[in-house]
Amino acid sequence: MARPKVWLPRRLSAATLERARASYDLVEEPVDKPATAARIIEMSALVDAMIPCHSEQFTAEVAAVLDPRLKIIANHSVGVDHCDLAALRARGITVTNTPDVLSDATAEIAMLLMLGAARRAVEGDRIVRSGAWDSWSPAFMVGKQVSGARLGIVGMGRVGRSLAEKARGFGMEIHYHNRAELAADQAKGAVYHASLDQMLGLVDFLSLHCPITPQTRNLIDARRFALLPKDAVIVNTARGGLIDEAALLAAIGSGHIAAAGLDCFAQEPGGNRALAGEERIMMLPHIGSATRKTRDAMGYRALDNLDAYFSGKQPRDLVN
């Protein structure tokens, strides 16, 4: 029996490739860049499965013309907002993701951004690198202290809970807004707020960990920035579309928001050039899961889902 043919539009970890080659006939792209809609459609006639990342867009228009040969899209990501699930379901295409394995790595980046933004890391790095550091005084490079501050988390899933655990090490007081209140053993003393607006007025730091949906797009807009206390810091390691970037720039420019830390942007790749000149915004190129351990685990999880599907079992991480 012929082995299933699997397309890898992006370059996966060496360990993932070694395992995949042992079980599947792989079609690997020579250049590691986001696949176009035309390429996705073309490859659907040549393979039984795909392992895309969030950079590959499976819109309703793409789904409508995918070849019937394609049976499963085993995403190398937790988020599936790049997939029109209803359209893919209508075509009978199975969709999976890779939850659980990237929570700690992403929470680490959120903590890095929180500390870096609060303590003016971008500005400080520039001053030292440029040779402009020529003095010191008690008023020099004063930032915002994280230890003992109040942290608001939007979306208390795996990543949100991992961040909360790390923040407790800094003595932070944890507040959260979620679709539902957590059980006591998961909340671990964090204060639940059914109303996001009510929570915003109480926190010094805000970190976003919810999915992007029509309801959460531009969740933090000009009105909600105004609800945050003066000198608050906002961090986003989830999806760029959760924040109205023009409103963020205005809130920082006015001095109401002290700083921000962003690992994701409304436009990716590339980010938002309008934010680049603001040193109070620390920016990273969507690398929340970028550790060797996590990338191997994500690749293995995607392969676990393929292995289950092609052995006639339901994939563990079925989303469609």
| Average confidence (pLDDT) over 53-82 | 96
| Average confidence (pLDDT) over 105-114 | 98
Strands 173-177 and 191-192 come out as parallel
For the chain, the average pLDDT equals 97
pLDDT at 320: 85
Does the pLDDT at position 121 exceed 90?
yes
From 19, 286, 295, 301, active-site residue: 286
What would the pLDDT profile of 164-200 be if each residue is shown by its tens digit?
999 999 999 999 999 999 999 999 999 999 999 999 9
Could you tell me the end-to-end alpha-carbon distance of the chain, in angstroms, rounded to an integer? 27
239 is catalytic: yes
Beta strands in the chain (DSSP E): 5-8, 25-28, 49-50, 72-74, 94-96, 150-154, 173-177, 191-192, 205-208, 232-236, 257-262, 281-283
pTM of the predicted model over 0.85: yes
Share of the chain above pLDDT 70, in %: 100
Q: Is 184 exposed, middle or buried (0-12, 13-18, 19+ CB in 10 A)?
A: exposed
Q: Which of 79, 108, 113, 76 is nearest to 263 (CA)?
A: 113
* Burial call 33-72: b when 16+ CB within 10 Å, e when fewer: ebbeeeebbebbeebbbbbbbbbbbbeeebbeebeeebbb
286 is catalytic: yes
From 177, 193, 239, 295, active-site residue: 239
268 is catalytic: yes
From 29, 173, 181, 268, active-site residue: 268
Rounded CA separation 191/240 (Å)? 26
pLDDT at 2: 87
What would the pLDDT profile of 194-210 be if each residue is shown by its tens digit?
999 999 999 999 999 99
User: What are the structural domains, with CATH classification, of the chain?
Assistant: 5-101+292-310 (3.40.50.720), 103-283 (3.40.50.720)
Question: Could you tell me the pLDDT band of residue 1, with boundaries at 50, 70 and 90?
Answer: low
pLDDT at 295: 97
3 state DSSP class of 38: helix
- Residues near 226 by beta carbon (within 8 Å), at least 6 away in sequence: 251, 256
| Average confidence (pLDDT) over 14-40 | 97
3 state DSSP class of 98: coil
Handedness of CA 184, 110, 228, 79 (dihedral sign): negative
Question: Could you tell me the pLDDT band of residue 211, with boundaries at 50, 70 and 90?
Answer: very high
What would the pLDDT profile of 260-305 be if each residue is shown by its tens digit?
999 999 999 899 999 999 999 999 999 999 999 999 999 999 999 9
| Average confidence (pLDDT) over 22-49 | 97
Does the pLDDT at position 88 exceed 70?
yes
| Average confidence (pLDDT) over 1-14 | 94
Side chain identity, residue 195? S
